[in-house]
A and B are shown apart, each in its own frame.
Chain A
Amino acid sequence: MEFTISREELLQGLYLTQGIVERRTTIPILANVLIESSDDGISIAATDQEVGVRRRCEAKVKKKGALTTNARKLYEIARELPEAPLVIRSLDNNWIEVSSGKSRFKIVGLDPKEFPAMPSADSVHDNQGISIPSTLLKEMIERASFAVSVDETRLNLSGIFFERPEAGQLRLVATDGHRLSMITRSVEGGSAAPGVIIPRKGVGEIAKILETGDETVRVQIQGGVAHLSRGAVELSMRLVEGEFPDYKQVVPQKSERRLAVGVEPLLGALRRVSIVSSERTRGVKMQIEPGRLELSSINPDLGEASEEIAAEYEGAAFGIGFNAKYLIDVLSVLGPGMQVEIGFNDEVSPGVLRCEGETDFLYVVMPMRL
């Protein structure tokens, strides 16, 4: 195989593979990218057998074929080379030559026939796909992904629940067992469908392909695999097996006490007050009184902090404790100028946060005993 490619195009293709290739793998080829010629150029692919990405790149192919080599090293080489076209060709015994201007690299490769297949559906049952603007999907993922569990033992919480509750709707739900974030938006096409769990690593890769621009993303769920395509990029990932908990059951039906407060003042106060809270639990107390909210934290090893902010609240004074991180996480992904409403029932029941003027986002957070 031999082709000429612009440095920029090669970098773009390799960038998407960097998060997928395994750093410490027992299967050496999983650290590699597969480059194959196609009719109008080349494709660059990588997989860890759970998540796979493939991007079509413009290139002048002189000799068709395929090659595979270390993804990180090739990326580093391309990054350090000056802006000029690169020529990549395969040599005998799977060696690869990369040349640009007066630089020449000869690096080891492996037999491209050994490269594992991308995750693909294990059945042909076709599940209708949906189309969604990339900016919308990006926003939805931003508002859900921070709540995904990082606990390896809670596999069914280790991803975003992707559900179509009704035709023309997409809902993303994520929880780590202490808090839950849920966002629902209208999308084109697709009928109601039961949810699937998109793995945490896959969510990160989806976010990456949505980073810039605005194009339509096509999402298809089929036979245990989610498949996304956007422009020249295709992403596929094996779904998490397991049952997502019944999230509807933990959303309180009503809140007896309701507090309205601006995102920016609340976020700032939480960040400050939580500095002295215990590092492990990050416990912060909220004392709510008509017209005001007082945040405070006490750490026997360090000291204490408190801050008062203006808030809309009518009703009896009330105190409740939270892990500050759980509130900071959600406020950080909301617009600083927004106003949020937080509903409470008692100090051992979940708080529910909603954005003023939005009905399709909610965040449920369990309190702490302080």
Chain B
Amino acid sequence: MGPVTILHADMDAFYASVEQHDRPELRGKPVIVGGLGNRGVVSTASYEARKFGVHSAMPTLQARQLCPQGIFVPGRMQRYVEIGQQVRQVFEEFTPEVEPLSLDEAFLDITGSLTLFGGARQIGVRLKARVLEVTGLAVSVGIGPTKMIAKIASGKCKPDGLLEVSPAEAEAFLRPLPVNQIWGAGPTTCAALERLGIRTVGDLADADPALLERSLGNHGPALRALARGDDARSVEADRQRKSYGEEQTFDRDLRDGIELRRIVAAQAEAIARRLRRDNCVARTVTLKVKLAQRIGPGKYPLLTRRTTLAAAVDDGAAIHRTAVALWNSIKNGLTIRLVGVAVSGIQETGGAQMPLFASPDVQRRTRLNRAVDALVDRFGSDAIQRADSVGVKQHAARSLGKGPR
């Protein structure tokens, strides 16, 4: 494979910008989109709000303290999905090789389009103009020889920026960056690197591979390769999702009880519907629980339990059963502030071909699920719910499109 040119496009403060675009009176004001309840979390803060130190994933309460004059609005997922699709279409005007990372962010392999549009920078300029024309919103664009460099570049030039890093400039671009900019270098890894005296990407690139392997295992040489700009990962258009998840932070702490099980049931049903929509089945079910007792500012203990089923499923009842069994395996009497269910081990079902030798029970479930899906497709997710889930807000449960993939 020859050299490639990758473009990373990332909408600026996406949800907040959509709100400011749709409601002109919010423009120029600190807008904070997210869960508004006591336990809500910030999804996106406008740049005006970021000046006050508000950022995404921060508890809404903390954001209110930092920015009392902020305008707090609940998310309108449907609208964001709609605009996200428009943006995706604009991306596809430049290349079919689009790998979406979320609603508002994607990698584009523009190697094959360079001649057509007169170069990488030209593509960046035109893409920004087209996104603005179609959606009225700003997008930041990073261009580089690898995915990682393109993404770091778009982050550096935000908001409304365009930064091209040519292959010749890549080394000079990467070397001065702090080492935590490297993909896969989280806090633990960075601390280990710090102990080795490695602080910048340049330090890491020059480090002794044997030394890295001793203190970081296989991870070490891989990180060093990234630091040297070696990143063979290609843009994968239409990438299959690796997991589906739903989670919800409660307005008040919950103890083990019917209400929690109801929420888990609603999450399981929502996940199963998404699996069926994508003609997929999943084998592994993960339950995630955040406990209520605080262990630091904004920090709560997180428990996860997972299990792999004998056969992959797309049935909400089966996912629910498994999640409840996982819950029962966690010790009782806990007070929780968040619960989430996720499935992984995704397999495509070969389209929607139905099996001949399904047990009558499975056949009944298939019929029921199909009928439910048809109703939801037509009338929305409130049209039909499990009787024991009525009142559980599924919109809130949906992890605003930024969930794990």
The main secondary structure of chain A at its interface with chain B is loop
Q: In the complex, what residue of chain B is closest to A179 when comparing beta carbons?
A: B356
Residue from A180, A245, A366 in contact with B353 in the complex, judged by beta carbons closer than 8 Å: A366
**B366/A175 in contact, CB under 8 A:** no
**A366/B354 in contact, CB under 8 A:** yes
**A175/B351 in contact, CB under 8 A:** no
**B351/A348 in contact, CB under 8 A:** no
The main secondary structure of chain B at its interface with chain A is loop
Q: How many B residues touch the partner, as a band?
A: 10 to 19
Which of A281, A321, A370 is most buried by chain B, counting CB atoms within 10 A of its CB? A281
- Mask: chain B, 29-68; 1 = CB below 8 Å from A; 0 = not: 0000000000000000000000000000000000000000
**B356/A180 in contact, CB under 8 A:** yes
**B356/A364 in contact, CB under 8 A:** yes
Residue from A177, A250, A278, A364 in contact with B351 in the complex, judged by beta carbons closer than 8 Å: A278
**A348/B356 in contact, CB under 8 A:** no
**B351/A280 in contact, CB under 8 A:** yes
**A281/B353 in contact, CB under 8 A:** yes
How far does the alpha carbon of A179 sit from the alpha carbon of B354 in the complex, in Å?
A: 10
Given the contacts A280-B350, A281-B350, A178 and B355 also touching, CB distance less than 8 Å: yes
Q: How far is the CB of B353 from chain A (nearest CB, A)?
A: 5
CB neighbors of A among B335-354 (8 A) = 350-354
How far does the alpha carbon of A119 sit from the alpha carbon of B389 in the complex, in Å?
A: 61
Q: In the complex, what residue of chain A is closest to B352 when comparing beta carbons?
A: A369
Q: How far is the CB of B92 from chain A (nearest CB, A)?
A: 13
How far does the alpha carbon of A368 sit from the alpha carbon of B367 in the complex, in Å?
A: 13
CB neighbors of B among A312-370 (8 A) = 321, 323, 348, 350, 364, 366-370
How far does the alpha carbon of A281 sit from the alpha carbon of B351 in the complex, in Å?
A: 6
How far does the alpha carbon of A348 sit from the alpha carbon of B354 in the complex, in Å?
A: 8
How far does the alpha carbon of A245 sit from the alpha carbon of B352 in the complex, in Å?
A: 22
**B352/A348 in contact, CB under 8 A:** no
How far does the alpha carbon of A179 sit from the alpha carbon of B356 in the complex, in Å?
A: 7
B239 within 8 A of A: no
Q: How far is the CB of A146 from chain B (nearest CB, A)?
A: 15
B357 within 8 A of A: yes
Query: Using Cβ atoms and an 8 Å threshold, which residues of chain A touch B370?
Result: 348, 369
Which of B351, B353, B370 is most buried by chain A, counting CB atoms within 10 A of its CB? B353
25 contacts between A and B (CB under 8 A): A177-B355, A177-B356, A177-B357, A178-B354, A178-B356, A179-B356, A250-B356, A250-B357, A281-B353, A323-B351, A323-B353, A348-B354, A348-B363, A348-B366, A348-B367, A350-B356, A364-B356, A366-B354, A366-B356, A367-B354, A368-B351, A368-B352, A369-B279, A369-B354, A370-B352
Name A residues whose Cβ lies closer than 8 Å to a Cβ of B.
175, 177-180, 245, 250, 278, 280-281, 283, 321, 323, 348, 350, 364, 366-370
Told that A281-B353, A367-B354, A369-B354 touch, could you supply 20 new A-B pairs with CB distance under 8 A? A178-B354, A178-B356, A180-B356, A245-B357, A250-B356, A250-B357, A278-B351, A281-B350, A281-B351, A283-B352, A323-B351, A323-B353, A348-B354, A348-B370, A350-B356, A366-B356, A368-B351, A368-B354, A369-B279, A370-B352
